[in-house]
Amino acid sequence: MSDIWAIIPVKEFSGAKHRLSGLLSPPERRLLADTMLMDMLDAVAGSRLLAGVIIVTLDPDATALGKKIGARIVTEGARDGHTGSVNAGRRLLAGEGRLGMITMPGDIPATRAGEIDAVLSAHLAAPSFTISPAHDDLGSNAVVCSPPESVPLRFGDNSYFPHLDAARLQGIEPTVIRQPGIAMDIDHPVDLAFFLRLPQSVGTRTRTLLEELGVPAMLAERGIT
Amino acid sequence: MRQQCRPVVHELAFDGVTLARPHADITAALRSGDVRAVIICPSNPFISVEPILAIPGMRDAIKASGAPVVAVSPIIGGQAVKGPTAKMMRELGLEASAAGVAARYGDLLDGYIVDHADADGIGNISARVTIAKTLMTSLQDRETLARVTLDAADALASSR
């Protein structure tokens, strides 16, 4: 066991995924966010190398889902945005003397347990930093830090290359590991088309939901492939 | 070979290459649509890889396959792990670096695997870079690098 903990920040599901509002109604988007988190938590729970899971959230559904897999629910920092939530989790782990953390968002539902373990296997001994970028090389979809606060983080739409620079500023050579499922975050309608084409999406709850909601046909109608 | 690459390299030419043709099995495989990835191993780009790429039609066949092309850098920290790659690059007036090898392959590459020691130079590489331990000293290292490379290829394939 590596004593690396996962930190997953989940903002309140109401109002989630507004970039998909042209395609899905608010209740559908909420259901999608909920379902994507379930897939994420399945992956995290299946990892052989994680020591534990922290979910930073105030959302009652996310709290209930987290408790099912034995995650620790942290509310401190949950209103401070994605970066603030991750930092609250990191502070907690650092205070407890944990050796490291991996943070991932709740909206990369093609992530598999084996992908998380592949990222953790490539992670070097502390002080170290490993990143698994989004498919567009803009987002930072999985970030591993040992110790938990080894590198200052700032998430956003364009954080991948700044995070590489931030690691180097700390004198740490980053490791970059690409994983198809981790890379596939879902923000825009076109991401749903990418996701549905991805072999790693087969068998996920998210894929089943998208099919039930008729999303493949909706995307085809709009010419999004 | 006999002189162990002691003479200075000025130029590389592959005699008769214009008459060569890719093996039919290779072109058939590349056309099949079943190729998960084309991986260029960390060999000497000039005397191991380029003789293959120089065969008329080879680059086009690789590009047309639709499979992601991922190379593993043969240079670690500005040095070749073995063989005369870095020496040849300097003598040919090229930058002996991981980025220099990527530039040599040009737009053929979708992905490129470099070692931590070369992470500083990745800003000059147009392919999507993966940074991992590329020095293979054990069977475990070989397996790990193979997985990292295939995962990178899969990630690139899915984002097209």
Q: Give the CA dihedral B159, A159, A219, A209, nearest 10 degrees.
A: 100
Tell me if A163 is assigned to some domain.
yes
Tell me if A143 is assigned to some domain.
yes
The half-sphere exposure of A91 on its side-chain side, counting CA atoms within 13 A, is: 10
Percent of chain A with pLDDT over 90: 91
Tell me if B87 is assigned to some domain.
yes
Average per-residue pLDDT in chain B? 92
Domain count for chain A: 1
Integer Cα distance of A108 and A187 in angstroms? 10
Residues A98-125 pLDDT 10s = 999 999 999 999 999 999 999 999 999 9
pTM: 0.91
**Nearest C-alpha of chain A: how many angstroms from B62?**
22
- Do the Cβ atoms of A197 and B158 come within 8 Å? yes
Contacts of B155 in chain A (CB under 8 A): 135, 178-180, 183
Q: Is A117 on the interface with B (CB under 8 A)?
A: no
Q: Is the peptide bond before A147 cis (omega within 30 degrees of 0)?
A: yes
Tell me if A104 is assigned to some domain.
yes
Integer Cα distance of A203 and A5 in angstroms? 26
- Do the Cβ atoms of B158 and A136 come within 8 Å? no
Residue tagged 């909601």 (tokens) = A213
pLDDT at A1: 53
Task: Tell me which amino acid residue B72 is.
Answer: V
Residues A132-165 pLDDT 10s = 999 999 999 999 999 999 999 999 889 999 999 9
CATH number at A142 reads 3.90.550.10
Query: ipTM beyond 0.85?
Result: no
* A26-46 vs A205-212: helix crossing angle, rounded to 10: 160
Number of residues assigned to chain B: 160
Tell me if B65 is assigned to some domain.
yes
Residues B115-141 pLDDT 10s = 999 988 888 899 999 999 999 999 999
Tell me if B2 is assigned to some domain.
no
Tell me if A141 is assigned to some domain.
yes
Residue pair A44/A118 in contact (Cβ under 8 Å)? The answer is no
- Do the Cβ atoms of A178 and B128 come within 8 Å? yes
Tokens of B93: 């007036």
Task: Tell me which amino acid residue A115 is.
Answer: E
Write out the residue range of the structural domain in which residue A44 sits.
Answer: 4-217
Percent of chain A with pLDDT over 70: 98
Integer Cα distance of A101 and A7 in angstroms? 7
Q: Is A115 on the interface with B (CB under 8 A)?
A: yes
CATH number at B127 reads 3.40.50.10680
Q: What residue in A sits closest to B141 (Cα-Cα)?
A: A122
Show which of residues 23-82 on chain A sit within 8 Å of chain B, judged by CB atoms: none
Tell me if B135 is assigned to some domain.
yes
Tell me if B137 is assigned to some domain.
yes
Q: What residue in B sits closest to A177 (Cα-Cα)?
A: B130
Chain B: which residues have CB within 8 Å of chain A? 111, 116-117, 119-120, 122, 128-133, 144, 147-148, 151-152, 154-159
Of A175, A179, A194, which has the smallest distance from its Cβ to B151's Cβ?
A179
Integer Cα distance of A130 and A150 in angstroms? 11
Domain count for chain B: 1
Residues B5-17 pLDDT 10s = 888 988 889 999 9
